[in-house]
Amino acid sequence: MQLRDIHYVLAAADEGSFSKAAVKVHVSQPALSQLIQRLEDELGVKLFVRKSNRVTLTPAGKIFYEDGKVILALSDQLIHKMNDFQSLKKGELTISVSPFYQKCYLLGVLSEFQKRHFGIKVRIVDAFSSDSETLLVQGQVDLAFVMLPYQNKSIKYERVFEERIFLAVPRQFAINQKLPDPQERPCTIEDLKVLKDEPFVMYEHGRRMWGSSIALCRSAGFEPRVAFESNVCESLNAMVAGGMGVGFVPSAIDRVKARYESVIYYPIDDENAVRTLTIGYMEKNMTSAAREFVRVVKGK
């Protein structure tokens, strides 16, 4: 018995007719009838009850039909897995991610992925979350690292990790005397109210961090007095270190040991001070390499 035989039996059962099944599987009706007859002789049981122009399954045929569907499904899965294995020997994968998270997170993932699949070429595209989502929908990248909140419902997102937002204040600023010791407790929204007259170093409008920063300030009852803007986390952190203003930075700076001695970093206890990094993809466009990369990201 071959897989082809199972396929023919299932077609005949679905169509209720050898002639219709023959058309479906692209063989002649006599050839299909003979093949099923030989299979019945081989198995020693009748699979079909033949009545003029219609055929129905016997009790044995019903068992054959149900188990045959399982066998064909497993066969398809096996072929798919083998094709995936072959495709992972070589290929290309394009990923969009912001420069900051390339440094503080992605390098370790890329190293692990390369160990498993050294034949896959990975191309990195510098892009922030909103731009990454656009590139993903347009099919210009296979995967995109994106911060919540989601912007596009056609993208599937999987959680990577959660981080917190710190308030960064130059050590020489007198305002530090009005803030709690970061070793003792985090800042509350009530604590942040003392910042209303301080100069801020802010992210550019449209960035996810800009939205979080504005939300924290507004929760404290004020609009930030923006002295400087930057779209790069490292630059903003350096500006604070240079005494140019206060600002908000992600806790991921600790992943790359980017704290400055001239800055005091305050954890914040508020839902707006929590960020979630996700990896996004278009399900219909997923390649074997992309699926495997997501597995590495998820630690599988």
Span 137-191, pLDDT tens digits: 988 999 999 998 877 788 999 999 999 999 999 999 999 999 999 999 999 999 9
**What local confidence, expressed as pLDDT, does residue 85 receive?**
63
CA distance 162 to 252: 10
Residue 86 confidence class, pLDDT cut points 50, 70, 90: low
Count CB-CB contacts under 10 A for residue 203.
Answer: 25
DSSP state of 2: -
CA distance 33 to 27: 10
| Structural domain spans, the chain | 3-87, 91-161+277-297, 162-275
Question: Which amino acid, 203?
Answer: Y
Query: Is 173 in contact with 266 (CB distance < 8 Å)?
Result: no
Asked whether the CA dihedral 128, 255, 273, 181 is positive or negative, the reply is: negative
Select the CATH number that applies to the domain covering 162-275 from these four: 3.90.1300.10, 2.40.420.20, 3.40.50.1370, 3.40.190.10. Answer: 3.40.190.10
**Are both 3-87 and 162-275 of the same fold?**
no
**What local confidence, expressed as pLDDT, does residue 224 receive?**
97
CA distance 262 to 237: 11
Torsion of CA 148, 154, 160, 166, to 10 degrees: -10
Over residues 10-32, mean pLDDT: 88
Phi, psi angle pair for 156, to nearest 5°: -95, 130
CA distance 170 to 125: 33
Does 3.40.1350.10 match the CATH number of domain 91-161+277-297? no
Count CB-CB contacts under 10 A for residue 176.
Answer: 16
Count CB-CB contacts under 10 A for residue 92.
Answer: 11
Tens digit of each residue's pLDDT (9 = 90 or more) over 239-291? 999 999 999 999 988 877 788 999 999 999 999 999 999 999 999 888 888 99
What share of the chain has pLDDT > 90, as a percent? 59
Residue 119 confidence class, pLDDT cut points 50, 70, 90: confident
Mention the CATH class of domain 3-87.
mainly alpha
CA distance 125 to 122: 10
**What local confidence, expressed as pLDDT, does residue 96 receive?**
95
Tokens of 206: 């449209």
Whether residue 206 has pLDDT greater than 80: no
**Predicted TM-score (pTM) of this structure:** 0.67
